[in-house]
Every structure is written in structure tokens, then in C-alpha cells.
Amino acid sequence: MDVINPATGERVDSYDEHTQSEVETALEDATSAFEEWRRRPLREREDLLAAAGDVLRENKGEYAETMTEEMGKPIEQAVSEVEKCAWACDHYAEHASSYLEADHHPSPPGTTAKTVYEPLGPVLAVMPWNFPFWQVFRFAAPYLTAGNVGFLKHASNVPGCALAIEEVFREAGYPEGVFRSLLISSDEIEDLLGDERVRAATLTGSGGAGRAIASTAGENLKKTVLELGGSDPYVVLDDADLEAAATTGAWARNQNGGQSCIAAKRFVVVDEVYDEFVDRFVDAVDSLAVGDPMDEETDMGPQARQDLLDELHEQVEASVEAGATVETGGEPLDREGAYYPPTVLTDVPEGSPADTEELFGPVAAVYRVGGESEAIEKANDTEFGLGASLWTTDLDRAERLATEVEAGCVYVNELVKSDPRVPFGGIKESGYGRELSADGIKEFTNRKTVWLTDEPDTDVPVE
């Protein structure tokens, strides 16, 4: 696996893929480790997770530089990502016990009926390059603490991040085999998921990858959680704080180079404030500093790979040919590296790529709509359903409209984000299942009913 720095186009490192023999050893080690790990007191697993958070903080500069070098994330955003991973570790170290506490149910006198949450076993995580640490810890922090063990199949352009994450758990004191990064190709995922020792899988990625995982898992009757693409609407109503909406919107679209499933991608603005919003929005977008991702003043670095930039530009060109107007940006930057500028498209035609496809880069599509009902209709006019952002100063109005938006989460007067305190996930083509919070830690557990009684009632029919 060759690592190409997207800011320079130069190869900076190379890693050997794991052999079939090494993968087999990892499976055997994980199976053995699970039998001990699942019986480790939860308090001890929480303590180890807290230690992992400490390791992350102690080495955040090193891990951030690895991220930036491998996929181009601006260094300050990379440091923030490591800190967010440490926060997730802190959260589950503090709350896992309460999240996994048994639920008690009504039952006859003299009996106790409850649901307990037990781990499933080895879980395969197939993770993307765009948030190479956060996506993994979003999976690992809850699932390992619940008593599962994990395999990471990371994106092939971030092998250094994959191995660094394995190092975090090793340095924190986790037993051998509880977490392993496997440097393997995507072609090997099907066989790995088909192995009886792997009990479940989670994927963050494209719709095609999600369908492939779901199909193989379904054939083998294995639980999956999928977080797929998004084309999140950013709805600006007539009473919105336009300066805040424009400034936050510029960041919501362009942070991480616009390479985020939950980035604001379709800006739906009511006619009454459309012109003023577009002016403010374009100004805010133009103020973002594009440059060397190792420079702390940089807001946006390169795209993660040249082929991703090329695909994005093809979508922009096709949308412009169909009738979209470029307000700013729209052409790759004439400089070394995979740089694409923050871009704003208006007059986006129905059916064009900017209208119907996920643009995984710094390109915003802005729509003019007549009013509130048309705004919600346009917001829902997508195959995706990951997140949505609503902008209005009337919170009663916002709460009413939030129920009409087809998405896994709705944020009012904020950008969409994932937060360990609340469940995260999508609907429709954006996937299924939930990560984070109490829902997330329970996804890969056996919800086992336990019924206790002192004196069996032999007269009750059994069915």
C-alpha cells in the first residue's frame, strides 16, 4: 500500500499488505481473546478505554500529522479529530456501565424478568479515509467496551492511521487480539465476513460498498450497521439569522475539504432572503484559506486523492453544462497537489449531478424556493436521509418542521455533527442502525431475556 501525499503528489511511504497466514493468525487470536475479554469486568474495560483516551491526547500531534500527510486534512482539524476521539473514549469510560445496565420488565410476583446485554464476538469494521481516526473510534470505543473484539479494515490510502490506531489500544494496555488493523484489499472483505469467527460488521462508506457488505452478511445471518452517503439539506427560512447561517454554512460545506457524509450539500433558501443569503454565503466561502494542510492557518487543504478531484470536477462540469451557474470556484486550482476550490452553484437544474448525486467535495448547490412547505419538499427530494440543518429563529416552528424532514438527525441553527452523547445514523439510502450513545453501544450485543423465579408455575401452558 503506497501512501501518496495529496498536497504534493509524492509517495511518502509504503506498507506491505498482511498475508493470508497473518490474517488467519489474527482471527485465531481474536477468537481466543474474546473468551477472556468478554468476562473482564466492565469497570476494567472502562478503565482501559480511559487509558486509550490518554494515549490519544499524549500523541495527538503525531497522529494528526499522519492524517494530514495521508489524506490532506488541515493540521488543526486533524488535531481536533484526535481530541474528539479522546472525548468519545472519556464518554464511554464514564457511561458504558449505565448504558449496559440490565432493563427490568413487568413480571408476576416472585419472579424477575430482565434484558441483559452481552457481546457478540469479533466485529469487522470497514472504515473510510475522510475521518480516519474518528470513524474508527466511533466504532471501537463502544463496541470493545461492550465486550466485543474488533478488526479494522481501513481505507487503503490511510494505512499509517490504521496502524497508529492499533498502537493506541496496545499502548493503553489492551490484551493482544482485542483490536487488530488488517492491511488487506477490499477483495478480501467478503471472505473475512463469511468466516464463522466474525460475528458482525459495520461499514461507513458508499452505497455500493454497503450493499455488498449487507448482502454477504445477510447470506451468513450476521448483524450489520451501515452509515452510507448523504446529500444533507441546509434549509434557510425567512426569519433566519442570515449572517450566522451563511458563516456556519460555509464551514458546514467545506470543513475537511467538503469530504464528509454529513456535510451540508444542498442549500435550500426561501425566496424572501435568497439573494442576501447567497451574497453572504459566497463571501464566507471566498474567505476560507486554501493551502498547505500542514499550515495552521489553512482552512482547506487538498482533496484526498487526484481521482476523487477528477470525479468531482466532472460532476461540476456536467451540472454547469445542464444550466447551473458558478458563483465562485468551479475549476481545479493551478498548483501542485489535488486542490479544488470552495465552489458555489446556483440555478441548479433538476436531474443534474449537483441535484441528484452526492458531491463529495467542496461544492455547494443552492436552491431558491417559494416558502416553508416548498423548502421541506425540496429537502426531502433525495434518495439520502442522513442529516439536515434548519435555520429559523422560531424554535416552535423548527420543532414542527423537524418532524417533516426525512433524515436520521436534524440540527436547528447548527451544522450537522456526530456527538457521542446522542445516537447517529441515517435512513433511506444513507443506511441503517445507530452509532454512539446508548443505542450505539447496544447494536452489537445479544439482548438476552433472563426470567428468574423461585417456584415454577406448572399450570401455565408453555408456547
Residues tagged active-site: 227, 261
Residues 6+ apart with CB under 8 A from 79: 60, 61, 64
* Measured distance CA(221)–CA(214) in Å, rounded: 10
Element (H, E) at 160: helix 159-172
Q: How far apart are CA 15 and CA 1, in angstroms?
A: 5
- Grid cell at residue 334: 493551478
Q: Which three cell numbers stand for residue 397?
A: 416552528
Starting at the earlier edge strand, list the strands of the sheet with 445-453: 103-105, 111-119, 445-453
Closest CA to 338 of 10, 1, 2: 10
Alpha-helix residue ranges (DSSP H) falling in 100-197: 134-145, 159-172, 189-194
Name the packing angle between helices 60-71 and 42-58 (round to 10°): 70
Task: Look at the block and give the residue holding cell 450566522.
Answer: 244
Secondary structure class of 112 (helix, strand, coil): strand
Residue 451: its H or E element: strand 445-453
Q: Considering only CA atoms, which of 236, 261, 308, 269 is closest in space to residue 435?
A: 261
